[in-house]
Structure 1
């Protein structure tokens, strides 16, 4: 897996753009929607009640494309990935983020380090027999009361399936329904589990996002976010 993403360190964006070109939307549209969701999650879950800011970790961050959309969202942001070449590029692009290469199942962080840990379109690249270990590691590095968020492709959405089929590094992807991700959190000791589907409409305005949220319980959007408390 590391070698595959090393190959795409300089062309990751182009590969993704190619897989979604039929939608008429650019990669940034999807990245901004995820960033907006994560910002809202901090508020909805009360992660910064003390006012000291949120320390966040992005697992499987790749080249850090999402991070420019998260400027100012957290007191600090760390990112880790199996691809050394991707991390080198991420460091050049986002000097304010602390990046680490992680090639083992164990995350290179101490217990209880983070308030928020998220993984965006990463779990489908993890072997299903390692999903529980993946979730347990997230829980280990979260502080008590911290929140985990897994963002994944919605396999019920036919356009999402087409995009995955067209993406060169999603060849071996194993897509999970939201219910499967919820069960994974439940089985690894998380609580307050909730999911929402998003990226239903090709618009980013306030009205479009409000309509999306009213339909979030239905498996209609291109992706979903499942969050849970440690």
Structure 2
């Protein structure tokens, strides 16, 4: 199942058109939560660090697929300080912005040209895509999942972060977002189904509480099974 706006959405350079206003637009999109886009970027990385604590203090290799302006990539450096991190995106303007904002030696950025990732097989311990796949055309989903599997080590993890269509606030935000004008929401069952051929797959839900109820967020680790979180993560343990 999907919730569609425009079935002709493709992985293209549309973010070149508004990279300078991207964060402002995102902050407007999430204002009902009482948080900012920066908060959610860091929150995703915090989740990864809590789920995969074995990577936090090791010199692992991490890829941020669809990194945009590199904000989440920089948070990955904060929570995985010994990691070597790469970000890749088809928007050359976004990559230029990311490179300007980050001068750290262990973070590198690349522009995605075409539909093949430029990295060698089994290069990364952890790869993630945050809010990326709902911008990719549906007939390309399995291809890019396959590409992520190709470059991720056996036993490594792939995390697909997506908006949860079952959450009313998420659905309202998506339908009114200029950033997502060409996007298509992915239901958790669908995202899980296109990942099964790669390895063991699980789904975790998160972001249950808005800012005014943030004290309740300590409960979230016990609620990952509950399908009403504003966001979800499909986690794949690569077996091939």
In the alignment, which residue of structure 1 is the partner of 2:198? 189
Give TM-score, length-normalised by structure 2: 0.87
What residue in structure 2 maps to residue 7 of structure 1? 17
**Cα deviation code 1:13-65 (max 9, x no counterpart):** 0111121223322212212211101112322xx447xx642210000000012
Number of equivalent positions: 224
Unpaired runs of 5+ residues, structure 2, are 1-10
Q: Which structure 1 residue ranges, 5 or more long, are not aligned?
A: none
Residue aligning to 1:55: 61
* Structure with higher RCO (Cα < 8 A, 6+ apart): 2
Is structure 2 residue 231 aligned with structure 1 residue 223?
yes
Range with greater deviation from structure 2 (11-20 or 148-157): 11-20
**Residue 108 of structure 1: SS of its match in structure 2?**
coil
Q: What is the distance in 2 between the residues matched to 1:128 and 1:70?
A: 28
Quick check: 1:172 aligned with 2:172? no
Alignment partner of 1:69 out of 61, 75, 86: 75
Per the TM alignment, residue 163 of structure 1 is displaced from its structure 2 partner at its CA by 1.3
TM-score normalised by structure 1 residue count: 0.90
C-alpha separation in 2, matches of 1:196 and 1:3: 30
RMSD: 1.9
Distance change (3 Å), C-alpha of 1:3 and 1:135: closer
User: 2:7 maps to which residue?
Assistant: none
Structure 2 counterpart of 1:209: 217
Deviation at 1:105, TM superposition (A): 1.1
Task: Note closer, same or farther for the CA distance 1:102–1:204 as it changes in structure 2 (3 Å cut).
Answer: farther
